[in-house]
Structure 1
């Protein structure tokens, strides 16, 4: 996985609540941080996080994937390790 993301969690949310979920993840984990803010987080030992959403037009459920680098700050989440493929 590029950019050092080593852990993940995922789920689904009603489309009407997807923006609120993104706002929550930004408030908790800084998913919208600038590159400079991400560098500062890394230097402080905090995890950097990215949110990926699959949200086609007209769907009722949005699928989401939260990727995290090593570091502190995600203790409230149950994260699984990313398995790296061989070959």
Structure 2
């Protein structure tokens, strides 16, 4: 019996968490600078909106990476099926 391993997407959970934290800090820093330029005081609602935007962006980014990994897997499976069909004459 063979051991089946899950599809490795190349993204470890700690990389995802670290990059999310860095992204939140960058977005927060830029938004605070923009608020200062337009003479607005950052509020709790503003920080909540920034965090919500970051979460939505990260989820879509993660889904895109998964889609690319599945697309590569499908490409490899197509090549294997083509080779098998040539080998067995169908």
TM-score class, shorter:
under 0.3
**Structure in which a larger fraction of residues adopt helix:** 2
Q: Which has the larger radius of gyration?
A: 2
Structure with the bigger RCO (C-alpha within 8 Å, sep 6+) is 1
* TM-score between the two structures when normalised by the length of structure 1: 0.26
